[in-house]
């Protein structure tokens, strides 16, 4: 199943965890978890279907870029 572009929920999640003084900690944690799920799904899709993008181009992505360190 292809990963869809960022939805309103992902946009809301990113605004929530970037606005740490405006939301309670549990809301921020939930927003970060939602964003992590979205990113993990995108990386998983790119491993299976590499494309012409930064995620696919990252060295080692085919071997597990979600767990890779910096660089």
Confidence of residue 30 (pLDDT cuts 50, 70, 90): confident
Does 64 score more than 70 pLDDT? no
- Count of CB atoms situated within 10 Å of the CB of 31: 22
Q: What is the pLDDT of residue 69?
A: 43
> What value does the mean pLDDT take over residues 36-59?
83
Question: What are the distances in angstroms from CA 16 to CA 37, 49, 61?
Answer: 15, 30, 28
> What value does the mean pLDDT take over residues 27-49?
86
Cα distance between residue 24 and residue 8, in whole Å: 20
């Amino acid at each position: 199943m292809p990963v869809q572009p960022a939805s309103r929920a992902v946009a809301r999640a990113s605004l929530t965890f970037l606005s740490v003084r405006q939301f309670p900690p549990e809301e921020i944690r939930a927003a970060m978890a939602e964003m992590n799920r979205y990113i993990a799904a995108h990386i998983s899709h790119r491993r299976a279907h590499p494309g012409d993008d930064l995620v696919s181009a990252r060295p080692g992505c085919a071997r597990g870029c979600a767990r890779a360190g910096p660089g």
